[in-house]
Chains A and B, each alone.
Chain A
């Protein structure tokens, strides 16, 4: 029957076209899926800081409650830990004890807090309640935070003796992590 031979020819033709479409489709789709899969586990907000390995931006900021400005320049020759924090930031509470303990234990390292978008009165009250072991500096208009490329708080920078940023840590720090990163800041630089 003539009708029977017709469907036989069509699938063969369809199969030929399908392979070509399939190959073209795969060429387009597979790289896109690969990009998707490779980036699935990545938080789009974690951007590697371009400052790591570069000289830390200079600053000269007045401590909470007044006093002489503290500049990064004046701390050259010692490893420095700079912690950006605020009283409205819960993870900052959590890490404060670890940072204070580290500051008391590691005498050769200079710890500094930089207040991020917060009021001086509130930070002062916070520190009075908690026995601070290191000075915190006010950062008017967030200039230092912007210079350090701060996305949020807490963020902590570990700086070696030569004033180069060795590591930027995002999130609340624990005592062990502080020791580890301070060791790297100590070994870096002259």
Chain B
């Protein structure tokens, strides 16, 4: 008696609910899940769905009522045998692509998936090119080695060096005498 009443109740209650959530989702394409597999898949798919009322949280991570309701729907659909892509696209038909935390590989989304890699490769290429160039520039036979002006610019003067101008040279020697106690760049003992 109870079973009959329950069956009647289910028959009355089920169709509109299924109609509300499963428009355009089609027939289940996979095997119905249950037990631990159902829990695991619910969690996995929940992680791929964005909670619409949160700030950057997945449905699996959010404690909000909305996320709990969405998780319950995911669970229900997995138990009925719907596949991941069917479930995700069903939510997408309500919320738009926004609801997917992992953008699908189509159109401008390719940029999101492979843009960073392209930028990394491009940046690495530029760095490699710059390194190669600077090594070549530093190599023998280069302009900086033969041109005295360039060499003077790149090589700091040694400690004992003196300016070309004799009056300036004399002044430098006097300053060294005052500061260190000897006029040459190095102490007399060491030289």
Q: Which residues of A contact B (CB under 8 A)?
A: 1-3, 5-7, 9-10, 24, 47-51, 54-55, 57-60, 69, 71, 117, 141-152
With A and B bound together, what is the CA distance between A103 and B72 in angstroms? 34
With A and B bound together, what is the CA distance between A131 and B52 in angstroms? 32
Pairs across A and B, CB under 8 Å, 10 listed: A48-B96, A49-B96, A50-B95, A55-B23, A69-B16, A146-B69, A146-B70, A149-B94, A151-B53, A152-B53
Nearest B residue to A4 via CB reads B149
Q: Is the CB of B19 within 8 A of A59?
A: yes
Interface residues of B in 1-29 (CB under 8 A from A): 16-17, 19-21, 23
- Which 6 residue pairs across A and B have the least CB separation, nearest first? A60-B16, A149-B94, A6-B153, A142-B69, A149-B95, A59-B20
B90 to chain A, nearest CB (A): 9
Q: Is B65 an interface residue (CB 8 A)?
A: yes
Task: Give the residue of B20, B21, B150 whose beta carbon is less than 8 angstroms from that of A6.
Answer: B150
Size of interface on B: residues with Cβ below 8 Å to A: 28
Q: Is B131 an interface residue (CB 8 A)?
A: no
Q: Which residues of B contact A (CB under 8 A)?
A: 16-17, 19-21, 23, 52-53, 65-66, 69-70, 72-73, 91-96, 98, 126, 148-150, 152-153, 164
Nearest A residue to B20 via CB reads A59
A34 to chain B, nearest CB (A): 15
Q: Is the CB of A149 within 8 A of B69?
A: no
Nearest A residue to B66 via CB reads A142
With A and B bound together, what is the CA distance between A148 and B94 in angstroms? 6
Nearest A residue to B122 via CB reads A28
Contacts of B92 in A (CB 8 A): 50
Contacts of B164 in A (CB 8 A): 1-2
With contacts A9-B150, A49-B96 known, what are 4 further pairs, Cβ within 8 A? A2-B152, A47-B96, A54-B93, A146-B70
Contacts of B149 in A (CB 8 A): 2, 5-6, 9
Given the interface contacts A117-B65, A151-B52, A152-B53, does A60 sit within 8 Å of B19 by beta carbon? yes
With A and B bound together, what is the CA distance between A107 and B60 in angstroms? 44
Given the interface contacts A57-B20, A60-B19, A146-B21, does A2 sit within 8 Å of B148 by beta carbon? yes
